[in-house]
Amino acid sequence: MPKQPKPVVVVTRKLPDSIETRMMELFDARLNLADEPMSKAQLTEAVKIADVLVPTVTDEIDKGIMTQAGPNLRLIANFGTGVDHIDLHTARQRGITVTNTPGVLTEDTADMTMALILAVPRRLAEGLNLLKTGQWKGWGPTSMLGHRIWGKRLGIIGMGRIGTAVARRAKGFGLSIHYHNRRRAHPEIEAELDATYWESLDQMLARMDIVSINCPHTPGTYHLLSARRLKLLQPQAYIVNTSRGEVIDENALTRMLERSELAGAGLDVFEHEPAVNPKLQQLENVVLLPHMGSATIEGRIDMGEKVIINIKTFADGHNPPDRVIEAML
């Protein structure tokens, strides 16, 4: 029997060397060695030739691109958990399977979330800036006073894998765990974390000291924290977001931070990234990070291995393990 040709796999960004090497061994891999985000024209050409497309969060795979896909494109193996940049409805209509890489980034993102929960109330970025600019004059009893987090109420929006991992960390720091989710967590999880479920997001927001956003970006969560909901927060409250920037009305958040209607924010994601609101950058009561919540070597390799398993399983004629289900549409 003739040898089955290797599937053409187009990878849109540079991945860890070990992952790229393995892909080249297994597939007819077309790599992006320059590691520059592909333009719309380049993505359109990619879907015309690919059997499998491996995009990342920086690639907008919309209906316009999807309708240009060649007949061989049958799998989009996303390098990442979130799939809000992929038109899932059009993919389903065209018979294109979409997979992602769930689970492998949970602990890394939860670590970064906890880091921001600590950094913002304790003014770590301000302290670092004080040292770097040579303005520190030595210790003083009223110098650089922040707020303790022990005993404060943490409200988690999205109690999935990451939200639960954040709650476990936060409980160890003495925070009281509260959460809002589409579905109530299992009673064992609630008991383990001593967590309080709030069916009403509005009611939870009005009573929290710190709010952590850990839900995915979907049409239903776009501006979930709208200007109206942000105004429900107490002036001494902090917001931390390691999910997606689109979940918060960033302009409304910025205005409230400027007016001291909120105590501060820790943001790893932005509504129009890589663009960041210049007014946010000028504020002292925010910690801004360049979307690095999941940026560990171990996590990126684990993601790549999941992508390879999904492609290989699909190429062998089986359902890939991380197929994005219709419930996410």
Confidence grade of residue 2 (pLDDT, cut at 50, 70, 90): low
- DSSP state at residue 48: H
Mean pLDDT of 89-94: 94
pLDDT, tens only, 186-234: 999 999 999 999 999 999 999 999 999 999 998 999 999 999 999 999 9
Phi/psi at 86 (5° precision): -115, 130
**Catalytically annotated residue among 161, 178, 217, 244:** 244
- pLDDT value, residue 4: 76
- pLDDT value, residue 3: 67
Query: Do 8-104+296-328 and 106-288 fold alike per CATH?
Result: yes
Instruction: Kindly tell me if the per-residue pLDDT of 12 is higher than 50.
Output: yes
- pLDDT value, residue 302: 97
Residue among 2, 92, 20, 39 at smallest CA distance from 304: 20
**Catalytically annotated residue among 126, 192, 261, 273:** 273
d(CA 262, CA 237): 6
Residue 28 CA, distance from chain mean position: 30
Is CATH 3.40.50.720 the right assignment for the domain spanning 106-288? yes
pLDDT, tens only, 140-184: 999 999 999 999 999 999 999 999 999 999 999 999 999 999 999
- pLDDT value, residue 47: 97
153 catalytic? Reply is no
**Catalytically annotated residue among 92, 184, 223, 291:** 291
Better pLDDT: 222 or 33: 222
- What pTM was computed for the model? 0.89
pLDDT, tens only, 48-81: 999 999 999 989 999 999 999 999 999 999 999 9
For residue 48, give every residue at least 6 positions away whose Cβ sits within 8 Å of its Cβ, in sequence order, or none: 68, 69, 70
- pLDDT value, residue 24: 97
Mean pLDDT of 3-31: 95
Instruction: Kindly tell me if the per-residue pLDDT of 88 is higher than 90.
Output: yes
Cis omega (within 30 of 0) for bond into 219: no
89 catalytic? Reply is no
Instruction: Kindly tell me if the per-residue pLDDT of 327 is higher than 60.
Output: no
Average pLDDT over the chain reads 95
148 catalytic? Reply is no
Instruction: Kindly tell me if the per-residue pLDDT of 328 is higher than 80.
Output: no
Phi/psi at 231 (5° precision): -70, -15
Domain boundaries, the chain: 8-104+296-328, 106-288
Question: 6 and 28 in contact (C-beta within 8 Å)?
Answer: yes
Mean pLDDT of 228-243: 98
- DSSP state at residue 82: -
Instruction: Kindly tell me if the per-residue pLDDT of 96 is higher than 80.
Output: yes
CATH superfamily assigned to domain 8-104+296-328 = NAD(P)-binding Rossmann-like Domain (3.40.50.720)
Beta strand segments in 186-270, E: 196-197, 210-213, 238-241, 264-267
